[in-house]
């Protein structure tokens, strides 16, 4: 055949339930898995907001015991995962439910992996390293951004090495994701901004990733449309549940896209930053996004043109460099409209830190699907621009 066949692509996702109030069905799903005692993973802030109590009530209605584990940092650490696995075994649990943002959800995923394999979570860094199914896992996200609840990524912080490491595997996809926009009502404006930009970056990076394709592109484009069109309004009107539904749906679509197309340099660099300085992941992405887009544009100008058009930019008659400049300006303006004016320097990053950060970014799996082939020197330049 003379015509080149399209590349093969696969697509994985959990069972997804979307809609206000669906968190209350956590007990039903745990019962469907035959659970008798659940390890309930969360953090103190989510517990204080009342979302943990809702899950506990749902489990109690099904006569399912639970043990609450909330020893989770903003960036979940290897020792927290291993402590959670020890608690899971000592409490004779047989399923895991997590409620919270990316940190409790990633910690819960890590606990399941460590329990199933009987080994330290740090041994599973990389792609397709999982060999044994995890216990039943039900996730209830409380932010509209990380999409850990639908993805095959697990991001854990190794504080000894001052770096984050990634586990990417179909085996890390949860069994059920209960995506309830009501749970995002407790987010403050800064968290809403950071997680919203994180979700937008997921969509953009998935669309221009070398792993993108017809199974992921529709999700990425719809995510961009929803987040770009509603995030600013949502932050200005935090009690509007319809706006929260739109942004939460955009976050979910972005998660389905990046879980299967993988990501790019923004996330590789963000993981390195977050591991080194223990910074919030969404903040790192937001600081870096326009700098990486400007760097990557020349490697995929037609794809980035579609991104620009999806974000509402009129590209008719514009050269590639003009489209790039308009897209970068739009991203900066969007961040400003939601009150985001951060820089790396504001959070303690110095020029002397950049070689260390860049070395670790180059080892991250996300750099492999970045549209522009990158050297360590390239990454150093982009970090410097973001200072």
- Give residue-wise pLDDT tens across range 364-375: 999 999 999 999
187-386 has CATH 3.40.50.450 classification: no
Whether the predicted pLDDT of 91 surpasses 80: yes
Does 15-184 match 187-386 in CATH topology?
Answer: no
Beta strands (DSSP E) in 170-265 are 176-179
- The Cα 120–Cα 250 span in angstroms is 34
Tell the residue number behind the tokens 């979700």, with chain if given.
Answer: 199
Question: Residues near 237 by Cβ (< 8 Å), separated by ≥ 6?
Answer: 243
- The answer to whether the beta carbons of residues 46 and 104 sit under 8 Å apart is yes
pLDDT of 291 reads 97
Whether the predicted pLDDT of 2 surpasses 60: no
- The answer to whether the beta carbons of residues 303 and 264 sit under 8 Å apart is no
Band (220; pLDDT cuts 50, 70, 90) = very high
Which pTM value belongs to this model? Answer: 0.95
> pLDDT (tens digit, 9 = 90+) per residue, 191-206?
999 999 999 999 999 9
Beta strands (DSSP E) in the chain are 15-18, 37-41, 65-69, 95-100, 126-127, 137-141, 153-158, 163-168, 176-179
Neighbour count for residue 167 (Cβ, 10 Å):
26
Token pair of 121 as six digits: 């979570």
Percentage of residues in the chain having pLDDT higher than 90: 89
> pLDDT (tens digit, 9 = 90+) per residue, 35-50?
999 999 999 999 999 9
* Lowest model confidence (mean pLDDT) among 2-6, 237-241, 253-257: 2-6
Q: Which one, of 183, 100, 94, lies nearest residue 149 by Cα?
A: 100
Token pair of 351 as six digits: 């020029």
- Which class is domain 15-184? alpha beta
Q: Helix 301-310 vs helix 320-337: angle between axes, to the nearest 10 degrees? A: 40
pLDDT of 161 reads 87
Mean pLDDT (whole number) for 118-141: 96
Domain ranges of the chain: 15-184, 187-386
pLDDT of 36 reads 98
How many angstroms separate the Cα of 231 from the Cα of each of 98, 247, 263, 368? Answer: 25, 6, 21, 30
Question: Residues near 307 by Cβ (< 8 Å), separated by ≥ 6?
Answer: 204, 207, 208, 224, 327
Band (162; pLDDT cuts 50, 70, 90) = confident
Band (343; pLDDT cuts 50, 70, 90) = confident
């Amino acid at each position: 055949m003379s015509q080149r066949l399209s590349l093969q692509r696969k697509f994985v996702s959990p069972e997804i339930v979307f809609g206000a109030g669906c968190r209350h069905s956590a007990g039903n799903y745990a019962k469907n898995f035959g659970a008798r005692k659940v390890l309930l993973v969360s953090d103190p802030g989510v517990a204080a907001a009342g979302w943990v109590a809702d899950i506990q009530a749902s489990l109690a209605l099904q006569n399912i015991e639970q043990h609450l584990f909330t020893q989770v940092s903003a960036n979940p650490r290897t020792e927290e995962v291993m402590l959670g696995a020890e608690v899971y075994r000592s409490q004779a649990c047989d399923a895991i439910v997590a409620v919270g943002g990316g940190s409790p959800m990633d910690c819960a995923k890590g606990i399941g992996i460590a329990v199933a394999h009987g080994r330290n979570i740090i041994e599973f860094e990389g792609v397709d390293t999982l060999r044994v199914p995890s216990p039943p896992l039900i996730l209830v996200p409380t932010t509209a951004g990380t999409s850990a609840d639908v993805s095959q990524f697990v991001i854990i912080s190794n504080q000894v090495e001052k770096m984050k490491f990634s586990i990417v595997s179909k085996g890390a996809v949860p069994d059920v994701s209960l995506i309830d926009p009501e749970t995002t009502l407790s987010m403050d404006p800064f968290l809403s901004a950071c997680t919203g930009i994180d979700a937008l970056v997921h969509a953009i990076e998935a669309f221009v990733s070398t792993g993108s394709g017809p199974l992921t592109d529709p999700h990425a484009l719809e995510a961009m449309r929803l987040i770009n069109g509603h995030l600013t309004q949502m932050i200005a009107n935090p009690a509007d549940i319809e706006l929260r539904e739109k942004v939460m749906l955009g976050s979910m679509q972005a998660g389905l896209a990046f879980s299967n197309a993988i990501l790019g340099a923004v996330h590789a660099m963000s993981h390195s930053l977050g591991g080194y300085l223990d910074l919030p992941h969404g903040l790192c992405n937001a600081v870096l996004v326009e700098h990486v887009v400007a760097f990557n544009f020349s490697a995929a100008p037609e794809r980035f043109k579609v991104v620009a058009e999806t974000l509402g930019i009129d590209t008719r008659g514009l050269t590639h460099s003009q489209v790039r400049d308009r897209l970068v300006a739009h991203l900066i303006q969007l961040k400003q409209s939601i009150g985001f004016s951060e820089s790396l320097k504001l959070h303690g990053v110095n020029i002397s830190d950049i070689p260390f950060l860049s070395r670790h970014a180059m080892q991250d799996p996300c750099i492999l699907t970045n549209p522009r082939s990158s050297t360590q020197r390239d990454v150093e330049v982009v970090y410097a621009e973001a200072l």
